[in-house]
A = this chain, B = another copy of it.
């Protein structure tokens, strides 16, 4: 189970921070805080959710207390519904009641929901306190790196938030062993995405190592997460506030978000929805004249990982098209897509005819029977 801890740095000048990936790391939280000079007198708020609380919170708390820190725990309900202003308000109350001051730290122990929510608390409480990410899902290898934090509004997802970088990311792979296989597959979808946008040889490697990745072999998984985080870190380093380059991280997300919205959040996991979306983007590439092999290979790899590559029956193409119009990634009414130009590189195109998108949405659905 043990193995080397991998470390990489997200290079953002004075806001640079390390990502530690390994096993048995949660139990060393206290010494990591001490080494990095987190003040012992400043109370810590550990934010987690009901599904991971019992399993991992005591380990983190024990380690921090042994190092002399004071920790309070705030538990939110599992799932996207916790990313609300109401739950945010409750967490601010918890922070005040726990006596958090300007030198305090908010820890996010959980998946993307906990990270986004606790991150916005850290960004806003007293105009910003220290923030530490402890992801417990594969999907969170993506969301925990790059500093995008947010809560939802009833009219739009992630509309209230900030760019706010953590002090460090502590990625203990032991927490992944208890994930349901469907979530493992969906999480690996974002890992593969990082290869598809940036690194052809990593796509190849994923293809070759699919079985070991799905079996959560620690060393294989550690390397996959390290490479995935490395791509995310490289992109974020070049464009922290999503002015241009960072948009390439949205490969598959335009169709993906629309599918999630139409299916009802939670029906289709995020990683599943973007797998379908990436197949759609690869078909757009073919329409733009790029090698049709991109589309065939993309589809083959996602199938190998047991991920969906077709739009589930019952999802109305009209609703999908309409949902895309509301996606905030459309600037000033133009239709913008991240389109692959090969396996391992992409470009951002703002000249995508809505008719092509519609056609591909229909295709992916019509073929559903033969998926």
Contacts and interface: CB of A to CB of B under 8 A. Distances in A.
A25 to B, nearest CB: 29
A42 B332 CA distance: 7
Contacts of A270: none
Given A128-B241, A241-B128, A96 B159 contact: yes
A89 B153 contact: yes
A123 B126 CA distance: 14
A103 interface: yes
Interface stretch (A44-52, A160-168, A214-222, A279-287): A160-168
Interface residues of A, number: 33
Contacts of A42: 332
Contacts of A101: 328, 331-332
Contact of A153 (B93, B127, B241): B93
B102 A331 contact: yes
A4 interface: no
A34 interface: no
Contacts of A241: 127-128
B102 A328 contact: yes
Contacts of A85: 85, 88-89
A92 B153 contact: yes
Given A123-B162, A124-B160, A162-B162, A93 B332 contact: no
Interface string A153-197: 101100111110000000000000000000000000000000000
B331 A153 contact: no
Contacts of A328: 101-102, 126
Given A89-B85, A93-B155, A155-B96, A163 B127 contact: yes
Interface in A105-137: 123-128
Contact of A156 (B88, B96, B159, B242): B96
Contacts of A83: none
A339 to B, nearest CB: 21
A107 to B, nearest CB: 19
B153 A96 contact: yes
Nearest to A156: B96
Given A92-B153, A96-B153, A153-B96, A161 B127 contact: yes
Closest 4 CB pairs of A and B: A127-B161, A41-B332, A124-B160, A96-B155
21 contacts: A39-B332, A42-B332, A85-B85, A89-B153, A93-B155, A96-B153, A96-B156, A101-B328, A101-B331, A101-B332, A102-B328, A103-B331, A103-B332, A123-B162, A124-B124, A124-B161, A124-B162, A126-B159, A127-B148, A127-B150, A127-B161
Interface of A: 39, 41-42, 85, 88-89, 92-93, 96, 101-103, 123-128, 148, 150, 153, 155-156, 159-163, 241-242, 328, 331-332
